[in-house]
Amino acid sequence: TIDLATGRRTAIGPPGLYQQVSASPSGQYFLMVEVERPFSWLVTARSFPKDVTIRNGSGEVVAQVARIPLADAVPIGGVPTGPRSYGWNLTEAHTLTWVEAQDGGDPKRTVDHRDRVLSLSAPFNAEPTELARTEFRFGGLRWTEGGATLLTERDRPTRWTRTWMLAGNREPRLLWDRSSEDRYGDTGQPLTAPRPGGRVIRQTGNAIYLTGAGASPVGDRPFLDRLDLDTFETERLFQSNDDAYETVSALLSDDATSILTRRESRTEPPNYYVRDLSGGTAGAPSAITSVVDPAPQLTGISKQLVKYERADGVQLSGTLYLPPGYQEGQRVPMVMWAYPREFVDPTLAGQVSGSDNRFTAIRGASHLLLLTQGFAVFDGPTMPIIGAGETANNTYIEQLVASAEAAVDAVVDLGVTSPDTIGIGGHSYGAFMTANLLAHSDLFQMGIARSGAYNRSLTPFGFQNERRTFWEATDIYAAMSPFFHADKINEPILLIHGEADNNSGTFPIQSARMYMALKGHGATVRYITLPHESHGYAARESVLHTVAEMLNWANAYLKPAGGTGVQ
């Protein structure tokens, strides 16, 4: 600790390799999680042995919370046994909470309760108090300024989430019970206020305030709600107009009659505004910042939300960007940029995501820079992989190709591009998608695949939401791996990968081996490695190199007569 008045420093405990050190809200006690040797090279640091203690300001151990052994046998999709998710209750002086699995950490075991939540207050020498037991896996604790606790539990296979309110000695009350895939039914997240040790949910009287994206069939319209903690009824205080995208950043008064918002539109960059809600409706926004368009040369970019349907009736959508100077009726070359996602419910897979009222901000190695070279971009066309439980990937290829076919048909029918001038691209799981679409369809003229995985036998214990192992679903792993189908890729493909990619599913060997497989079959392929870069690209040189490679590749294979290179 450091005395801010005198600068005097006091050591808390002996030197060690501490994974976590956090002070209680009172400042009198310290939760200390020390990593113990021996380490293991087979698991990540969070699975190392740990000694969890509580110390006082003098560094003396006042409680041994847990001695946690090496977690090298955690079931797939499971959690370690013993205490985990420990932290301080931010509304009490010095009360520690933690969670313990009741199913041995194994999600396949049938039990009434997955976890139990415990707490222990100073002087930490009594038996812990059980706060609750959860049917699903524990998802988190949040506290309100008034002392209530919101407990979240989640079931990953069904994508279901429940939030309970715990208050005093009353029985837990179910606040929210919903699918985490249901964007239209999203109730929002509570606004928070700073407290010693972290943030708590802001509370005025018996109400808290919620902000959310406000997803709807016409796109996102962010909102602010007031939630009564007695009745659980909500009151809509503010919602973004349909000609802009405006989110609530903060309350400027306890009763939410004055709020700070961040507002943008297709033509206006984000700026902060004050809104007066005292009259029951939102007053005119009063600007407090004046950020100007950082790239006015891109002002001519236009965009629109496009909704369309897959052959099996699943509703899909994406955002269409047209380049500056585009004239109605022109058919220009296009790149689609996408990322597949798994869903349990087909009706939720078809929900619209995003808003065409967002300002077009281009950062880093963005695919939207293709717009500067006269390309259209179809951004985020939904590529849902739908199936209950572990079955979704059984038809991964079929569903992926069907979604891509629907996207191509939609933009061609709009008259903005031609079927023989469309490319496909993506990053990470989007790169995996790109290689698969080139291998299993002839919809695209070229592909751009960045930091992807192509051989699923190199991720044998699951990937994304696939929980079966390679040995349990060998045929599925093989069918989904474009490396196993490299001989079918007859369109040009650009592979880009960071040499220091430490994302467990996308080590650089994935692109290196895919490149060799493609070259061995005579494919048109270019492989770029970026020195010192991880899963995303940060250095100026890497960003510029990536953008130049992408633009040159698109110009070469999507424009008539081979294009003209970067302009």
Kindly state the average pLDDT of the residues 82-91. Answer: 93
DSSP string, 496-507: EEETT---TT--
Q: What is the pLDDT of residue 562?
A: 54
Q: End-to-end alpha-carbon separation of the chain, Å?
A: 57
Fold of domain 1-171: Lipocalin (2.40.128)
List the chain domain ranges: 1-171, 183-292, 296-562
Q: Where do we find the tokens 């002002």? A: 299
Asked whether the predicted pLDDT for residue 567 surpasses 60, the reply is no
Q: Which residues are catalytically annotated? A: 428, 501, 535
The pLDDT tens digits for 389-440 are: 778 899 999 999 999 999 999 999 999 999 999 999 999 999 999 999 999 9
Band (pLDDT 50/70/90 cuts) for residue 534 is very high
The first and second tokens of residue 275, run together, are 């809104």
The pLDDT tens digits for 35-74 are: 998 888 888 888 999 999 999 988 899 999 999 999 988 8
Q: What is the pLDDT of residue 565?
A: 41
> For the packed helices 429-440 and 396-413, what is the interaxial angle rounded to 10 degrees?
80
Specify whether the CB–CB gap between 296 and 309 falls below 8 A: no
Asked whether the predicted pLDDT for residue 495 surpasses 70, the reply is yes
Asked whether the predicted pLDDT for residue 504 surpasses 80, the reply is yes
Kindly state the average pLDDT of the residues 93-108. Answer: 95
Contacts 24+ apart (CB under 8 A), 503-506: 503/428, 503/451, 503/534, 503/535, 504/459, 505/453, 505/459, 505/463, 506/428, 506/451, 506/452, 506/453, 506/535
Q: Determine the Cα–Cα distance for residues 129 and 87; give it in Å rounded to an integer.
A: 15
Kindly state the average pLDDT of the residues 120-127. Answer: 94
* pLDDT > 90 fraction of the chain, expressed in percent and rounded: 82
Q: What is the pLDDT of residue 561?
A: 66
Quick check: pTM over 0.85?
yes
Specify whether the CB–CB gap between 290 and 271 falls below 8 A: yes
Asked whether the predicted pLDDT for residue 245 surpasses 60, the reply is yes
The pLDDT tens digits for 132-168 are: 999 999 999 999 999 999 999 999 888 999 999 998 7
Q: What is the pLDDT of residue 44?
A: 84
Specify whether the CB–CB gap between 12 and 61 falls below 8 A: no
* Residue whose C-alpha is closest to residue 402's, from 306, 315, 476, 333: 315
Helix, strand, coil fractions of the chain, as percent rounded to 5: 20, 35, 50
Q: What is the pLDDT of residue 564?
A: 45
What rounded mean pLDDT belongs to the chain?
93
State the CATH class of domain 296-562: alpha beta
Q: What are the CA-CA distances from residue 508 to residues 424, 458, 460, 514, 535 (Å)? A: 21, 11, 16, 10, 9
